Structure 1
Amino acid sequence: MQAYHLEEFGKPEGIVLRNRDEPKPGPNDVVIRVRAASLNRRDLMILARTYPLPAKPDVVPLSDGAGEVVAIGDRVSRFKVGDRVTGSYWPRWRDGRLAADYMDQLGCTVDGMAAEFAVFNEQWLVRLPDYLTWEEGASLSCAGVTAWCSVMASGSLKPGQTVLTLGTGDVSLFAVQFAKMMGCRVIATTSQDAKAEKLKTLGADHVINYVETPQWGAAVRELTGGLGADLVVETMGPETIEQSLIASASYSEIVVLIWKSVKQSALVLPASAYGPKLTTIRRLFVGSRVDLEAMIKAMSAREIRPVVDRAFPFAQAHEAYRYYEGRSGFGKVVLLGE
């Protein structure tokens, strides 16, 4: 079999395709034939050495992938040969709070999905519904779960409330879909009119061009009759945090993900954070296996499909990385299995 290995940081060419033995399952393991794997922002950060966790030497990259079970260990009880599965981003984190001994990540501290075959403990995997394609099934574990937990985890969001999403990254697109599934009003931002139309097709009720309207926080308040957004999925900070605070409603929540830049060593909240609105800022780092299972169950009930922008052949991983880094698309970038 063939698998990609991260041999050198800083450029896609540092991810090298090599031959290796096809994996064999241990007693509690499942071997899957990887049919598709997708890229996330964290994969670019790992390559650039700006990710919070250091990658293990020679790791097989990519946390997100989907495939079919081709072999199981003699103690495996959760899956059978032929099942369609995906992996959990934090494979050891099943439920509850993220603890120090759960810190392994697929494609970072343990081998991920950029391979023809992969072997995982059965507890690391989740069954996929039949209605999803391999490309769609490979797009869930990182961006999908992050968006799901952004919208659902606090339990405070109610139908009819307003959700603000920023940009057209993978998390934001999932957040639009999940917020609409909840019966919420969605306001989205983008820098491109062409992407604005796609956001509306996906379910956004209003789209603000943040280049044309740099004070988009005030525009959100105007669209909501002065009330503001009840939830802000903040994917573009730290520069955007002041506008997100201006856009937020009384007793609202801003979910803060990994910052897109590290220009600031510390976050200093602007004066707008200290007004009478009592906004809560919540940090988030993807979610557990139970979160992944709950998200897939909800998606299946409505047959919600991830947005896939482009699929590359397995041999074109470098091209896939460069295309994804260019941010020209709309949706997930996928590497197809052989």
Structure 2
Amino acid sequence: MRSYHLVPDTAAGMVVRRRPVPVPGAGEVLVRMRAASLGFRDVLVGEGDYPLPVSPGVVAGCEGAGDVVDVGAGAARFKPGDRVALTVFPDWLDGPFDVEHAAQLGTTRDGTLTEYAVVPESALVPVPDHLSHAEAAALPLTAVTAWNALTGGRRVLPGETVVATGTGGVALAVVQLAALAGAHVVVTTGDPGKAERLRALGAHAVVDRRGDWPAEVRTLTAGRGAALVVDVAGALGESVRAAAIGGEVAYVGYRVADAPTGPPVDVRALFDAGVRIRPLAVGSRAQFLELTRALAVHGVHPVLDREFAFDEAAEAYARHRSGQAFGKVVVTFPTGDRPASASDAEFPGNLSRELAGH
């Protein structure tokens, strides 16, 4: 089988290696990967700016889906032929995140850019019947993060206002899911050309983030502000101004453009706002299962931008970093068996360059 491995001391930053197909151990499942998707997290890993450790040589990628082909002793949740998606944090089954859950695919554990993966059966969720493998691969990081933002803290009531900042993968999932919950959905964007597509996903209003968008949000809410602001762009001070008293800012992003941090937040303004700040990243397996059930009931499909073949991973990274993608960039894998080669090959293209933006 072939896998993409992070090797920072090489010119490309990644190599393709061929290895024997692994055998699942007790409680484990062997998955033939069918698709993997890319996100801003991959940008941070490539830049060496990720807050969690990254092991050299680890298989890249944290989002993926495939088919069960074998199960180890004692594994009873899945059988060969089942379609499954992998959880980003395999040890985070339920409850709040803790340091014991920090092991992550694509950083300290082998990830999803591989033709076969062995994972604990507890780290898998069934793929809803209405989703393709490519769509399922778009869920584990961005969509689960959006679900956590909407349900893990202050749950949004029908008719309340939810703001999603930006038009990245998390924000698009927030728009879709918040609309399902009956919320009044507002999206900020610097590209007015995306407005119609955002409305088609469920947004009720689209606000230009290059202006005073918190003031616009307050105008749209008769001065009350938003019950929930999902901050993916890192503009925490602006998000606080847009939130209602007793509201919440689900803080997903901590960077603004190329700056390592956003502008400082006035602590007096933060106190006076009466707003709860809840930092979050991804979600547990239990939250992933809740998400898939909701998607199945409502027949919702995640937004995909483009699909690339396994050998076109460099082009997929370039598309993601271009900033032109609307939805998830997905790498799909060959469906037939391929003969193994004895040698490794450098990743086609300079990964450090490819991941320099998003």
Residues 28-39 of structure 1 mapped to structure 2, 5 A cutoff: 28-39=27-38
The aligned residue for residue 18 of structure 2 is: 19
Displacement, 1:273? Answer: 2.5
1:259 to 249, 254, 263: 254
Residues 185-196 of structure 1 mapped to structure 2, 5 A cutoff: 185-196=184-195
The aligned residue for residue 311 of structure 2 is: 315
Q: Does 1:243 align with 2:238?
A: yes
Displacement, 1:192? Answer: 1.0
Q: Does 1:138 align with 2:175?
A: no
Separation in structure 2 between the aligned mates of residue 216 and residue 267 of structure 1, nearest angstrom = 16
Q: Is the 8 A contact 1:190 1:207 kept in 2?
A: yes
Displacement, 1:247? Answer: 1.2
2:217 to 204, 216, 220: 220
TM-score by length of 2: 0.89
SS at match of 1:142: helix
Q: Which amino acid aligns with 1:322?
A: A
Q: Deviations over 1:66-105 (max 9, x none)?
A: 0000111121111000000011111001111222222100
SS at match of 1:54: coil
Separation in structure 2 between the aligned mates of residue 23 and residue 231 of structure 1, nearest angstrom = 44
Separation in structure 2 between the aligned mates of residue 20 and residue 316 of structure 1, nearest angstrom = 20
Separation in structure 1 between the aligned mates of residue 246 and residue 179 of structure 2, nearest angstrom = 21
Q: Deviations over 1:267-303 (max 9, x none)?
A: 7422672464311111112111101111111111101
Q: Is the 8 A contact 2:129 2:296 kept in 1?
A: no
Q: Does 1:70 align with 2:69?
A: yes
Q: Deviations over 1:190-212 (max 9, x none)?
A: 1112211111111100001223x
The aligned residue for residue 8 of structure 1 is: 8
Higher RCO (C-alpha 8 Å, min separation 6): 2
Q: Deviations over 1:106-149 (max 9, x none)?
A: 11110011011111111111111111011100011110110001
Residues 109-188 of structure 1 mapped to structure 2, 5 A cutoff: 109-188=108-187
Separation in structure 1 between the aligned mates of residue 231 and residue 194 of structure 2, nearest angstrom = 18
Q: Does 1:328 align with 2:327?
A: no
Separation in structure 2 between the aligned mates of residue 65 and residue 168 of structure 1, nearest angstrom = 21
2:288 to 269, 272, 292: 292
Q: Is the 8 A contact 1:9 1:48 kept in 2?
A: no
Separation in structure 2 between the aligned mates of residue 226 and residue 108 of structure 1, nearest angstrom = 44
Between the two proteins, the alignment pairs up a number of residues equal to: 333
SS at match of 2:49: coil
Q: Deviations over 1:184-239 (max 9, x none)?
A: 0001011112211111111100001223xx211101111111111110000111xx
CA RMSD in angstroms, aligned pairs only: 1.7
Q: Is the 8 A contact 1:9 1:49 kept in 2?
A: no
Q: Is the 8 A contact 1:246 1:272 kept in 2?
A: no
SS at match of 1:305: coil
Q: Is the 8 A contact 1:273 1:279 kept in 2?
A: no
Q: Which amino acid aligns with 2:32?
A: R
Q: Is the 8 A contact 2:254 2:260 kept in 1?
A: no
Q: Is the 8 A contact 1:86 1:137 kept in 2?
A: yes
SS at match of 1:143: helix
Q: Is the 8 A contact 2:154 2:248 kept in 1?
A: no
Q: Does 1:303 align with 2:291?
A: no
Are the structure 2 counterparts of residues 20 and 275 from structure 1 closer, same or farther at C-alpha, using a change threshold of 3 Å?
closer
SS at match of 2:273: coil
Q: Is the 8 A contact 2:34 2:67 kept in 1?
A: yes
Are the structure 2 counterparts of residues 266 and 40 from structure 1 closer, same or farther at C-alpha, using a change threshold of 3 Å?
closer
Are the structure 2 counterparts of residues 264 and 25 from structure 1 closer, same or farther at C-alpha, using a change threshold of 3 Å?
closer
Q: Is the 8 A contact 1:46 1:54 kept in 2?
A: no
